[in-house]
Structure 1
């Protein structure tokens, strides 16, 4: 099963990116083939409907989503919303990339949790005909700490990720085309 994880931070080693890498490891241990598309390392041009978007990173981004059977969208929560870089990336894609695919939303917030960004991600996914995983992952405060091996330092956070990823994988398996 092919899963694409999109990390939507514009900061090197952001906690949302660290969480995405951990989710990727968990998915790989479950037998999934994972592509991690880090928008910090591979930025996309500003969206404009007037351009064809002939950018190499954009082509790779679309290809990764096209080939995915399931998608994970990960964002820091900025001012109660998803990051601008992730929103910009999602503006470049649509039905062709998301239609009928299960999508897991993930966030990292400076406060307790990032629910607003998750709700907004789910709205976007619904509007491009994706299937929202009813489970989601949000970390905040000390839950954003990671050990040297890349695992969340908090045991309950690790358990939540494992349980949610297992649920997500089951949904992707049932819904994949």
Structure 2
């Protein structure tokens, strides 16, 4: 098997095991979903879409938290001990999935959205707050439909080692989609948000108990083995 793979360590290389994708014990608690939005406007449509998503997720059986980005400092503009930074990081660690909703501004996600993601590190010691967690991305725009922001957030989600679900939502002319009570009117846009939240729940339920196995990597196993070997050799000297 390894004759043609001379650079592979056979002790660390293994075929994917279907049995390990079936968790012996399934978590009984509701899926924990964190929602982030990317605007501070008094009537923020990304926030209103997030609230609609939150209602749907709760109806689908999730436990949810919505992070308010007001008073979150710019990345590197304050120490990591800042209360809003700590709040965001604690919520990221708590979550098993996320929903990111941003307005599209100048053909991209907003700086407010990016700042929140930038404050969530790839690793906090031995803990990786985002790795293996599910992600749904949505955007709102003031003009015609676009997908620039959701495409950017997908790139970020992959960089954060998250499982970005296939479906997504883009709400065009969002100012026309909400009534005077800030509730979304019936439309194909609303139906798509229902689709996205339903899919997020399914993917979260399917992956959360086996997330560690899904993101277990040969290169990282090799690094860990080499580090352990080095520590053993140092102690024996």
Q: Same fold (TM over 0.5)?
A: yes
Q: 1:79 aligns with which of 103, 106, 119?
A: 106
- Change in Cα spacing, 1:34 to 1:130, as seen in structure 2 (3 Å) is same
* Structure 2 contact 132–162 (Cα < 8 Å) conserved: yes
Give the SS at the match of 1:6.
strand
Q: Of the candidates 61, 82, 87, which is equivalent to residue 60 of structure 1? A: 87
Residue 74 (structure 2) aligns with: 46
CA distance in 2, matches of 1:68, 1:34: 9
In 2, Cα distance between equivalents of 1:37 and 1:127: 21
- What TM-score, normalized by structure 2, do the two folds share? 0.69
Residues 98 and 130, structure 1, Cα contact 8 Å, conserved in 2: yes
1:31 aligns with 2:61: yes
Contact 2:142 2:174 in 1 (8 A): no
Query: 2: distance between equivalents of 1:73 and 1:35?
Result: 12
The answer to whether residue 117 in structure 2 is matched with residue 90 in structure 1 is yes
Q: Aligned runs of 1:1-177 on 2, under 5 Å?
A: 1-39=31-69, 42-48=70-76, 52-95=79-122, 96-141=128-173, 144-177=176-209
> Are the equivalent residues in 1 in contact too, given 2:141–2:174 (CA < 8 A)?
no
- SS at the partner of 1:176? helix
The CA deviation string for residues 20-49 of structure 1, in whole angstroms up to 9 with x for no partner, is 00000000111111100121xx3311112x
Q: Give the Cα separation in 2 of the matches to 1:111 and 1:120.
A: 18
4+ long deviations beyond 6 Å: none
SS at match of 1:9: coil
How many Å separate the matches in 2 of 1:159 and 1:147? Answer: 16
The higher radius of gyration belongs to 2
- Name the SS of the counterpart of 1:118 in structure 2: helix
Question: Larger % of strand: which?
Answer: 1
**Contact 2:158 2:164 survives alignment (8 Å):** yes
Tell me, in whole angstroms, the C-alpha distance in 1 between the residues paired with 2:148 and 2:164.
15
CA shift for structure 1 position 142: 5.3
**Kept after mapping to 2: 8 A contact 1:143/1:153:** no
Contact 2:98 2:135 in 1 (8 A): yes
In structure 2, list runs of 5 or more residues that go unmatched: 1-30, 123-127, 210-237
CA RMSD of aligned residues (A): 1.7
